[in-house]
Structure 1
Amino acid sequence: MTWNKLSVTEDNGIVTVALNRPEKLNALDMEMFTELDAVSKQLRKRKDIRAVILTGNGGTFSSGLDIKSVAAKKSKILSLLAKVLPGNANLAQRVSRNWRLIPVPVIAVIEGRCYGGGLQIVMGADLRIAAHDAELSIMEIRWGLVPDMGGLLALREVMSKDVAMQLTLTGDIISAQDALEYGMVTEVSENPMETALSICRKIAKASPDAIAAIKYTTNRCWVSSARALLARETICQIRLLLGRNFSIAAKRQRTKTDIDYQKRQSFW
């Protein structure tokens, strides 16, 4: 597929997806929404990739929703927000939620502005590495809107309700260091892309099945009952023990050699 508003590159199983509308500070228009939805669905199906990096070209992640473009026609708003059932994710929500469904780690690299819809997208990532000069904001209130892209699902996992409420009600722009203290970002780095790549390379040395199982169980343990979590852990462990990559991992440990893992099994 040809991408017009994204750039997608791959190196040794690490896929980098970059918002590519730098002349507009990577503001989110309908085409970018559609392409983010499509690429995330494609990556979910691939068993040969080991990690995904999500970033923005031009020194900024995203200035948020391109209101002028999206609101130009009511049909665009309908396409963005329509859903068959209330509990399903619409297009706007999928560009955040879909990253959580990919069975490899997704790391967001945040530089420059990360406002509104841009912040909602990075909250769908597993890790968020921010540059020292990055700025973040839950900015929807300034447009008289509510955050509606699914990013609040992640906010409830990383920060207290009162802090989330304050940031959402005020639309304040916060620094990367403040975001780190609040739990919105994982790490602040002088070179966030190199930090993300270093993490990806380390993860790529492990069993792809174990990585998928860890992401699956960890994402669910924050919102599951204890009984559901215990059952899910056991099911995942049985699948791992019966899988071919467990045998490879054990042999790697015994022989201290870097035997190649096989592709991730289909049930993850």
Structure 2
Amino acid sequence: MTYQLLNISKRNGIAYVGLNRPEKYNALNFKLFKEMDSCIKRLAKDKTLTAVILYGEGGNFSSGLDVKSVMSSPIDAVKLLFKWLPGNANLAQRVSIGWRRLPVPVIAVMEGICYGGGMQIVLGADIRIVAPECKMSIMEAKWGLVPDMAGFVGLREILPKDQALMLTMSADIISAQQALELNLITSIEDEPMAAATALATKLTQTSPDANAAIKASINRSWSASIRQLLSRESWYQVRLLLGKNRVIAAKRQGKDPQKAYENRQSGW
């Protein structure tokens, strides 16, 4: 696919994915949904990938769904929401939950405004680094709707139920400081892109297989039973022990600190 509404680049194993409709505050139209879904699938196949930084061009992350554009084509609206089974993710949900499923750390850089669907996308990221002036809102209730882009998957893990209810029912716009106090974001930084790049670079010093196993363990077991968590820990540890990158990680702690890791294993 040729990407027109995403800017995608890769440097030192880190993919930079930028929403690129700055004249529309990066509002989400059908084409942007399709491109982001394609991008996630493409990145999932890249075993040399070590991290993703997700951001918005033009000083804003996203103003949310471009309602006028999406509703102008009933066929596109159906394609956006269609799913074969209720428990599957549709296109609108895949652009949030898809980042959770990538076997690498995903860092969202949030500047300007991050509303509605934009907020649900960043809730699919593992880490959210925010500019001090950023404003956020889960505002679907304002339009008589429920947030339906899989944002609840991340929200239920990072907020108490009463706070999640308050934010989604009120559709309030909150500041970066308020979001930090609620634990909705990871940190506030004057230069969020520089901070995200520094963190992503730091995480590349860890075995890519270890990062994949840690992310999978936490995301798949956060709300699971203790029995399921123990089982998953043991299975992933066996995979790591049998892999080349565990040996390389040990060598990097000793005589060869600059030894390069092998590409990430398949199947995470």
The CA RMSD measured in Å over matched residues stands at: 0.8
Q: Secondary structure at the match of 1:254?
A: coil
Please give the alpha-carbon distance, in whole angstroms, between the structure 2 residues aligned to 1:46 and 1:257: 25
Shift of residue 73, structure 1, vs aligned partner: 2.4
Task: Tell me what 1:244 maps to.
Answer: 244
Task: Tell me what 2:171 maps to.
Answer: 171
Task: Tell me what 1:194 maps to.
Answer: 194
Task: Tell me what 1:53 maps to.
Answer: 53
Task: Tell me what 1:85 maps to.
Answer: 85
Shift of residue 103, structure 1, vs aligned partner: 0.4
Task: Tell me what 1:44 maps to.
Answer: 44
Shift of residue 77, structure 1, vs aligned partner: 1.5
Amino acid at match of 2:38: A
Amino acid at match of 1:104: V
Q: Secondary structure at the match of 2:235?
A: helix
Task: Tell me what 1:30 maps to.
Answer: 30
Please give the alpha-carbon distance, in whole angstroms, between the structure 1 residues aligned to 2:266 and 2:60: 36
Task: Tell me what 2:107 maps to.
Answer: 107
Shift of residue 256, structure 1, vs aligned partner: 4.9
Please give the alpha-carbon distance, in whole angstroms, between the structure 1 residues aligned to 2:129 and 2:41: 23
Task: Tell me what 2:181 maps to.
Answer: 181
Amino acid at match of 2:34: T
Task: Tell me what 1:116 maps to.
Answer: 116
Q: Secondary structure at the match of 1:53?
A: strand
Q: Secondary structure at the match of 1:18?
A: strand
Please give the alpha-carbon distance, in whole angstroms, between the structure 2 residues aligned to 1:52 and 1:237: 24
Please give the alpha-carbon distance, in whole angstroms, between the structure 2 residues aligned to 1:47 and 1:73: 37
Task: Tell me what 1:128 maps to.
Answer: 128
Please give the alpha-carbon distance, in whole angstroms, between the structure 2 residues aligned to 1:92 and 1:72: 17
* 1:158-215 alpha-carbon deviations (Å, 9 max, x no partner): 0111111111111100001111111110001111101100100100011111111011
Amino acid at match of 2:79: S
Shift of residue 252, structure 1, vs aligned partner: 1.3
* Aligned residue runs from structure 1 range 138-217, under 5 A: 138-217=138-217
Tell me, which stretches of 5 or more residues in structure 1 are unaligned?
A: none
Q: Secondary structure at the match of 2:16?
A: strand
**TM score, norm. by length of structure 1:** 0.99
Q: Secondary structure at the match of 1:255?
A: coil
Q: Secondary structure at the match of 1:238?
A: helix
The sequence identity of aligned pairs, in percent, is: 55
Please give the alpha-carbon distance, in whole angstroms, between the structure 2 residues aligned to 1:223 and 1:126: 16
Matched, 1:228 2:260: no
Mean alpha-carbon deviation: is it higher for 246-255 or for 34-43?
A: 246-255
* 1:105-164 alpha-carbon deviations (Å, 9 max, x no partner): 000000000000000000000000000000000011111111000001100000111111
User: Could you list the runs of 4 or more consecutive aligned residues of structure 1 that deviate by over 2 angstroms after TM superposition?
Assistant: none
Amino acid at match of 1:168: T
Please give the alpha-carbon distance, in whole angstroms, between the structure 1 residues aligned to 2:254 and 2:7: 41
Task: Tell me what 2:14 maps to.
Answer: 14
Task: Tell me what 1:219 maps to.
Answer: 219
Please give the alpha-carbon distance, in whole angstroms, between the structure 1 residues aligned to 2:211 and 2:160: 28
Q: Report how many residues are paired.
A: 268
